[in-house]
């Protein structure tokens, strides 16, 4: 039987895909790509048409085969799948290094650039220029021995980074808390208690069984009246995969922390950079390390006075010197007092059955595309849904899978990922398909999931990414959608989309009581919108602390040699900008997957950077009305549909008429500018 991953169907057949198919499919396609590349290079004349276009097709095919494997590894993780995934990563890393260091291919791209530049469109030029840059960043200019070393480093990094993530997942999964006394769990929201009761029953135990999935963790530290219980969850969370965490040392990421930083530093210096942060910026919108550090420190200085006042207010409200595990709990209580709002109490007004159609309506108003559910599409879990996206003429332009609920074996958090990237080369069109993944609590059978407003904002965020991916009009996959978009600009469409979840005009579209359909009252609506600025300073300095830690740790003249020195750097960042007292057992870096296993290494600053961009862009909408279709069309044309085909700063300035201005964000957060 044919390997289902090698089928050329539009959508993956998840019923047939098994872990044992993964390595074989990736291996088969790599062999085919390799042979095809040599064939293309053997042609007497290398041209854009004869080399770059077919090469785009080959790379697209490989990424399409790997996308379902990578996705399943994140949302339906099992031991065999994980093993298969690791093998694929090994194969792909070797292949990418080989292609990146292919002197014949690099020479061909350089030749095309010098001979054909003037005949190519701006997007086509960008593909060739990106490739030339990437050859350099893959070590093409190095002597043979160094080039081999560079390849070895890339392999080792890929392994260490996936092991880092596995440890966090395993450590999270291994932890549970069994309660038999209801007073212990007082304050926890009913849906979390119900879920824990079902888990206990399933495990043949009385009482309640809590796991460390993200919604449960957040609920525990925000709502548990028992300070001991909050501390228990907090400590379990911040010591995951560390030397002091539960199940240590099986999942201790300590050795991997130093190993990953050392390998990155060596790779950067081999390429002639002073440190990994410089290497990271070679593909970003920000131009140099000073620009990023200045940006982060300036923003921190602006937010700090507000954050200090907010923390003092919180401590005064609690009536004692609060610790890290008290912050969420007292913040929630203070927010209820100040704004009369409880996120939990508002859940019935945000049933997913209402939020989702409302979100689709907003997207349609802005960009003229309709999103319609399609049944009968093969999915990896019965709760997953599929939606077709059509333009105003009814033509299908993309699709998306929505996987909303938390479950065992699924990575925490929310994200958008690609299943298929748009491609229109040699007359054949492949439309883009996305995954939108969240970790909402699974409702009881037949019931609708009830979201907090924060979860609604998360949903908007991920759909913003999905729109970037799906509304692209770029034909070449390497620069279509989010591909080729610098990391520090990639959060612009997602953070921009969040803005509509915070507008009084939109809330009637996305809210309505689950039983009665009754809208939020005027007073509650006003209170809810006011919460946006609640503790904006504290949230921002926390985010800036992560960003500075990430950037500082990657811009050292030498990689830190011990976990103590890593935590020493974290402490020095914290002493500058943190307002919440640090707690001695915190092992936060040990599970900081964004930078140690994800793509945010020396790039975490991107969140704040893109927030500045999105607040500035949204100001353009506010100037003409948030549903102004002319503004939406201009944004679609300048940025959203262009993906990686344009220079992000030029696109921004073309849309806005000025360079990004942080004051829009500060004003939005209620911070004096």
Q: Which CB atom, from 494 or from 642, has the smaller least distance to Zn ion?
A: 494
Q: Which CB atom, from 239 or from 494, has the smaller least distance to Zn ion?
A: 494
Q: Least distance in Å: CB of 466 to Zn ion? A: 10
- Within 151-190, the residues that bind Zn ion by CB under 5 A are none
Distance CA 620, CA 461 (A): 19
Q: Least distance in Å: CB of 360 to Zn ion? A: 19
Residue 660, CA distances (Å) to 161, 600, 656 in order: 33, 21, 8
Q: Least distance in Å: CB of 607 to Zn ion? A: 8
Residue 425, CA distances (Å) to 49, 50, 90, 113 in order: 10, 12, 29, 20
H-helix or E-strand containing 424? strand 423-425
Q: Could you say whether residue 614 binds Zn ion (CB under 5 A)?
A: no
Binding pattern to Zn ion, positions 191-210, x when CB under 5 A? --------------------
Rounded to 5°, the CA angle 470-475-479 comes to 75
Q: Which CB atom, from 314 or from 470, has the smaller least distance to Zn ion?
A: 470
Distance CA 549, CA 541 (A): 12
Beta bridge partners of 436: 402, 416
CA proximity to 52, closest of 117, 144, 143, 148: 117
CA proximity to 272, closest of 150, 113, 95, 157: 150
- Within 241-260, the residues that bind Zn ion by CB under 5 A are none
Beta bridge partners of 387: 373, 400
Q: Least distance in Å: CB of 491 to Zn ion? A: 5
- Catalogue the active-site residues: 462
Distance CA 191, CA 514 (A): 15
- Within 481-520, the residues that bind Zn ion by CB under 5 A are 491, 494
> What secondary structure does DSSP assign to 541-603, as a single string?
HHHHHHHHHHHHHTSSSS---SHHHHHHHHHHHHHHH--SPP-TT--GGGG-HHHHTSS-TTT
Total residues at interface with Zn ion (CB under 5 A): 2
Binding pattern to Zn ion, positions 629-648, x when CB under 5 A? --------------------
Binding pattern to Zn ion, positions 432-471, x when CB under 5 A? ----------------------------------------
Distance CA 302, CA 605 (A): 16
Q: Which CB atom, from 494 or from 563, has the smaller least distance to Zn ion?
A: 494
CA proximity to 87, closest of 7, 21, 14: 21
By 3-state DSSP, what share of the chain in percent is helix, strand and coil, each rounded to 5? 60, 10, 30
Q: Cβ distance 503 to 626 under 8 Å?
A: yes
Distance CA 485, CA 285 (A): 9
Distance CA 283, CA 303 (A): 28
**Tokens at residue 535, please?**
């503790």
Q: Least distance in Å: CB of 494 to Zn ion? A: 4
Q: Which CB atom, from 414 or from 646, has the smaller least distance to Zn ion?
A: 414
Residue number with the smallest Cβ distance to Zn ion: 494
Distance CA 127, CA 124 (A): 5
For 298, other C-beta atoms within 10 Å of its C-beta total 11
- The alpha-helical segments, DSSP class H, found in 76-189 are 79-100, 103-116, 122-137, 144-174
Q: Least distance in Å: CB of 461 to Zn ion? A: 6
Q: Which CB atom, from 106 or from 456, has the smaller least distance to Zn ion?
A: 456
Q: Which CB atom, from 169 or from 489, has the smaller least distance to Zn ion?
A: 489
Q: Least distance in Å: CB of 413 to Zn ion? A: 10
For residue 143, how far is the Cα from the chain centroid?
36
Q: Which CB atom, from 439 or from 494, has the smaller least distance to Zn ion?
A: 494
Q: Least distance in Å: CB of 366 to Zn ion? A: 19
Distance CA 537, CA 558 (A): 33
Q: Which CB atom, from 97 or from 458, has the smaller least distance to Zn ion?
A: 458
Q: Least distance in Å: CB of 464 to Zn ion? A: 8
Enumerate binding residues for Zn ion (CB under 5 A): 491, 494
């Amino acid at each position: 039987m044919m390997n289902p991953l090698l089928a050329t169907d539009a959508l993956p057949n998840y019923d047939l895909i098994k872990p044992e198919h993964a390595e074989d499919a990736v291996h088969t396609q790599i062999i085919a790509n390799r042979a095809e590349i040599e064939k293309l290079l053997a042609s007497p004349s290398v041209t854009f048409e004869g080399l770059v276009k077919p090469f785009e097709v080959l790379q697209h095919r490989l990424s399409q085969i790997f996308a379902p494997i990578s996705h399943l590894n994140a949302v339906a993780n099992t031991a065999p799948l994980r093993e298969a995934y690791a093998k694929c990563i090994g194969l792909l890393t070797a292949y990418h290094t080989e292609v990146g260091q292919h002197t014949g291919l690099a020479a061909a791209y350089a030749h095309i650039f010098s001979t054909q530049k003037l005949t190519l469109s701006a997007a086509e030029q960008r593909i060739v220029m990106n490739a030339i840059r990437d050859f350099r960043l893959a070590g093409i200019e190095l002597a043979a021995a160094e080039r081999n070393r560079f390849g070895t480093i890339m392999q080792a990094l890929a392994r260490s980074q996936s092991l880092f993530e596995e440890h966090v997942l395993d450590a999270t999964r291994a932890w549970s808390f069994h309660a038999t006394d209801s007073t212990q769990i007082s304050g926890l929201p009913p849906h979390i208690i119900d879920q824990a009761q079902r888990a206990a029953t399933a495990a043949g135990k009385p009482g309640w069984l809590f796991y460390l999935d993200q919604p449960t963790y957040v609920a525990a530290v925000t709502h548990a009246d028992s300070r001991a219980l909050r501390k228990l969850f907090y400590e379990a969370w911040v010591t995951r995969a560390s030397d002091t965490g539960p199940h240590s040392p099986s999942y201790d990421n300590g050795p991997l922390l130093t190993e990953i930083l050392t390998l990155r530093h060596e790779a950067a210096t081999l390429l002639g950079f002073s440190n990994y942060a410089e290497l990271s910026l070679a593909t970003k919108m920000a131009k140099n390390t000073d620009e990023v550090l200045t940006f982060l420190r300036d923003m921190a200085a602006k937010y700090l006075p507000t954050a200090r006042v907010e923390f003092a207010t919180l401590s005064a409200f609690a009536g004692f010197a609060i610790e890290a595990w008290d912050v969420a709990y007292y913040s929630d209580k203070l927010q209820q007092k100040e704004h009369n709002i409880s996120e939990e109490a508002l859940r019935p007004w945000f049933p997913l059955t209402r939020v989702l159609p409302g979100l689709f309506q907003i997207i349609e108003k802005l960009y003229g595309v309709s999103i319609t559910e399609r049944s009968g599409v093969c999915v990896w879990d019965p709760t997953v849904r599929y939606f077709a996206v059509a333009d105003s003429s009814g033509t299908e332009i993309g699709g998306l899978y929505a996987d909303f609920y938390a479950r065992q074996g699924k990575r925490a958090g929310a994200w958008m990922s690609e299943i298929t990237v748009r491609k229109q080369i040699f007359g054949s069109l492949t439309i883009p398909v996305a995954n939108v993944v969240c970790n909402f609590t699974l409702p009881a059978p037949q019931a609708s999931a009830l979201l907090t407003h924060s979860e609604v904002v998360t949903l908007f965020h991920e759909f913003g990414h999905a729109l970037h991916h799906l509304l692209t009009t770029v034909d070449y996959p390497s620069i279509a959608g989010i591909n080729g978009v610098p990391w520090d600009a990639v959060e612009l469409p997602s953070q921009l989309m969040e803005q509509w979840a915070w507008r009084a005009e939109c809330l009637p579209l996305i809210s309505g009581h689950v039983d009665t359909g009754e809208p939020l009252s005027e007073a509650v609506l006003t209170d809810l919108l006011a919460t946006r600025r609640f503790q904006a300073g504290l949230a921002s300095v926390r985010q800036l602390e992560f960003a500075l830690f990430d950037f500082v740790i990657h811009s050292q003249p030498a990689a830190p040699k011990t976990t103590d020195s890593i935590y020493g750097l974290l402490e020095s960042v914290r002493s500058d900008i943190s307002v919440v007292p640090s707690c001695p057992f915190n092992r936060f870096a040990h599970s900081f997957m964004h930078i140690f296993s994800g793509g945010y290494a020396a790039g975490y600053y991107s969140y704040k950077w893109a927030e500045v961009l999105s607040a500035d862009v949204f100001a353009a909408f506010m100037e003409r009305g948030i549903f102004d279709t002319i503004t939406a069309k201009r944004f679609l044309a300048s940025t959203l549909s262009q993906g990686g085909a344009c220079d992000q700063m030029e696109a921004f300035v073309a849309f806005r008429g000025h360079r990004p201005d942080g004051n829009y964000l500060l004003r939005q957060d209620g911070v004096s500018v």
